[in-house]
Chains A and B, each alone.
Chain A
Amino acid sequence: MRVLVQDAPFDLGAETQAFAQGHSDMGAIVTFTGVVRDLPGDPLQVMEIEHYPGMTELALREMAETAKERFSLGDVLVIHRFGALKPGEMIMMVATAAPHRKDAFAAADFLMDYLKSRAPFWKREITAKGATWVASKEADEDALGQWETP
């Protein structure tokens, strides 16, 4: 299991390749990558990502541990960047390895839902009109409901 919080860019190909190696008992590798999206009508200059050093690593590690146990994963990788990012840059990635694809997909989905609303990151969009903190979406919070165990 690997959890990285960094300002530097990451190499998606190299990370995926390294993650996929050495798991001969894992039949499925799923990766998800989040990219800074430009804004229609009001071009995005920079996306600034603030985080809570210490808590971020703790929260991500706990999510990864939970996912590993719940979906019988062989391995998990989470990389999340902070700092100033430009449109088209990769913000984050998750990779999951499981014996079968359904668990690998579900675990990646689970991790993304938790990461959106439970990892201490805050995004600020800077355009020619000024800077705006990105508001959290109710849909993101609602998405956590599907993972609640009865």
Chain B
Amino acid sequence: MQVLYFAWVRERIGVPREVVDTSAETVRDLVAELQAKEERYTLAFSDLSALRVAVDQVLSDFDTPLAGVQEVAFFPPMTGG
């Protein structure tokens, strides 16, 4: 699965995207797997209320199932316009 990071989430994790081998059932499970990996993930995901997630490029929530999903992206609230 492709996992993408934007803005300060990208800066904290240190890469813009990576391939993650996961059997996580939901976004929340994927976050827990990443957090268990390394401290930089623990820090980046320490406050989920400050984060947004897109699943296959559609804004979603942390309980979204990941079956069949190709791409998950994590980022702070958007500031367009």
Contacts and interface: CB of A to CB of B under 8 A. Distances in A.
B interface, size bucket: 10 to 19
A134 B81 CA distance: 12
Contacts of B58: 55, 58
A133 B76 contact: yes
Which residue, B58, B76, B80, has most C-beta atoms of chain A within 10 A? B80
A136 B7 contact: no
Majority SS at the chain A contact face: mixed
B81 A115 contact: yes
A104 to B, nearest CB: 18
A36 to B, nearest CB: 12
A120 B81 contact: no
A7 B8 CA distance: 21
Nearest to A48: B7
A142 to B, nearest CB: 13
Contacts of A118: 59, 78, 80
Contacts of B4: 52
Contact of A121 (B8, B54, B78): B78
A123 interface: yes
Contacts of B49: none
B9 to A, nearest CB: 9
